[in-house]
Amino acid sequence: MKKLVVTTIAAILLSGTAYADTIKVGVIGPFSGPFALQGKNFKAGIDAYMALNGNSVGDDTVEIVYRDVPQADPAQSKALAQELVVKEGVQYLAGFYFTPDAMAVTPLLKQANVPMVVMNAATSAIVTKSPLVVRTSFTTWQTSTPLAKVAFDKGIKKMISVVSDYGPGIDAENAFKTGFEGLGGSVVETIRMPLATNDFSPIMQRIKDSGAEGVFAFLPSGPTTLGFVKAYNENGLKAAGTPLYGPGDFTQESDLPALGDMALGMQTGFHYSVAHDSPENKVFVEAARKAIGNPAELSFPAVGAYDGMYVIYKMIEATGGEQDAAKAVEAVKGLSWTSPRGPVSIDPESRHITQNIYLREVAKADDGTYYNKEIQTFENQKDPGLAAAK
Ligand code: PHB
């Protein structure tokens, strides 16, 4: 009898099925430095998801291991991803605020047998760099394309484009130009600024000199966008009635208290507003605000992270906790659910998220706080940039 029990226990241990594992998810993002609030929002989204859905999938416990890349730094991102895979034994890589940090890691995925869930980085081409990439954020092609029609329908014929000179900026410029010129407008000048630019006065002068009736712009959200909107106001462009259109990175909720009236009335295109009116968003906002501590700090990277965790939990479920990156990714192709942002799905072909893009206008609530009011919905948008990325 004793022998039988021992043999049975040994068989269970060998088959591995009756054993609970810890599944580690490595999350890379800016957790210190000027973009720390963006990383804090990744963490708030992840914490909110785990607070609402538990920290286990089946028999397995999920553990998050964070690594800090304060500013876009592909070499550091790659080194940390390697360390996470080799030393920490993570089964999933996630996060990635800046495009270059995501791009640097895609070549590692196949050999490591690890899927990557991009929770922010927004250059279309990232998903084409490895079949193991899934993205739950947005692309600047998605968020910029509807703005071309919005500006054109306002009667504007001449626009100037100003973007940060790297992946998502170049995509945004191409998206806006393609849309606006397709409608019959013209983009009279395209300016690409180094990512590190923080004195925008010379740019504002070039905008004035261009003769454009309106500005389209993209910068990665953070001190960058805050500085740009301030300069646009301080250099008299807003007062002169030259509208500024851009993706919602410009008016992230965590910057609205500092921008105040400078942002009032500004129209942006984006996948998510903290003010989105739905039961799913109420649940999310409450949990994410609790996680972040200061309610005014909640911003869009949290929703990319929250939905990223939804996708990772589905992957763990589909693989029964075994490390099989191809099977995990296959399982979420075509997955659809109701996100706090609205209805979404993972496009099976691109592995990028299909979603509504909202036109929003910064408004002032009765209590004096500012918010992104959704005023128009462009439904069920796939990434229009993928054709361009191929
Ligand atoms: C990016 O680097 O892809 C990126 C960063 C911040 C944003 C949008 C895109 O707000």
Q: How close is the Cα of 16 to the center of ligand 1, in Å?
A: 41
Distance CA 9, CA 19 (A): 11
H helix intervals, 93-222: 99-103, 109-112, 140-153, 167-182, 201-210
Confidence label for 167 from pLDDT (cuts 50, 70 and 90): very high
Report which ligand 1 atom has the smallest distance to the Cα of 122: 3
The full DSSP string for 2-42 is HHHHHHHHHHHHHH-TT---EEEEEEEE--SSTTHHHHHHH
Q: Give the pLDDT confidence of 341-370 residue by residue, as tens digits.
A: 999 999 999 999 999 999 999 999 999 999
Q: Give the pLDDT confidence of 237-273 residue by residue, as tens digits.
A: 999 999 999 999 999 999 999 999 999 999 999 999 9
Q: How close is the Cα of 352 to the center of ligand 1, in Å?
A: 15
Q: Is the CB of 249 under 6 A from ligand 1?
A: yes
Distance CA 384, CA 216 (A): 18
Domain 22-138+277-351 has CATH 3.30.70.270: no
Q: How close is the Cα of 72 to the center of ligand 1, in Å?
A: 10
What pTM does this model have?
Answer: 0.95
C-alpha dist (Å) from residue 378 to 122, 153, 325, 375: 18, 15, 33, 10
Longest CA span, the chain: 92
Residues near 54 by beta carbon (within 8 Å), at least 6 away in sequence: none
Report which ligand 1 atom has the smallest distance to the Cα of 100: 2
pLDDT value of residue 235: 97
Distance CA 61, CA 308 (A): 17
Instruction: Map out the domains of the chain as residue ranges.
Output: 22-138+277-351, 143-270+358-389
Q: Is the CB of 214 under 6 A from ligand 1?
A: no
Distance CA 254, CA 251 (A): 8
Dihedral angle over CA of 281, 133, 35, 30, nearest 10: 110
Q: Is the CB of 123 under 6 A from ligand 1?
A: yes
Atom 7, ligand 1: residue with shortest CA distance: 220
pLDDT value of residue 15: 47
pLDDT at residue 80 greater than cutoff 60: yes
- Looking at domain 143-270+358-389, what is its CATH homologous superfamily? Response regulator (3.40.50.2300)
Q: How close is the Cα of 218 to the center of ligand 1, in Å?
A: 9
Confidence label for 388 from pLDDT (cuts 50, 70 and 90): low
Pairing of strands 116-118, 133-135: parallel
Q: Is the CB of 98 under 6 A from ligand 1?
A: yes
Q: Is the CB of 121 under 6 A from ligand 1?
A: yes
Residues 161/150, Cβ–Cβ less than 8 Å? no
Q: Is the CB of 254 under 6 A from ligand 1?
A: no
Distance CA 36, CA 229 (A): 20
pLDDT value of residue 4: 53
- Per-residue burial over 305-332, b if 16 or more Cβ lie within 10 Å, else e, is bbbbbbbbbbbbebbebebbbeebbebb
The residue to which tokens 């490895």 are assigned = 130
Count CB neighbours of 182 within 10 A: 11
Residues 221/254, Cβ–Cβ less than 8 Å? no
Q: Give the pLDDT confidence of 18-48 residue by residue, as tens digits.
A: 467 999 999 999 999 999 999 999 999 999 9
Q: Give the pLDDT confidence of 97-117 residue by residue, as tens digits.
A: 999 999 999 999 999 999 999
Counting residues of the chain whose pLDDT is more than 70, the rounded percentage is 94
Q: Give the pLDDT confidence of 293-348 residue by residue, as tens digits.
A: 999 999 999 999 999 999 999 999 999 999 999 999 999 999 999 999 999 999 99
Q: Is the CB of 168 under 6 A from ligand 1?
A: yes
Q: Is the CB of 221 under 6 A from ligand 1?
A: yes
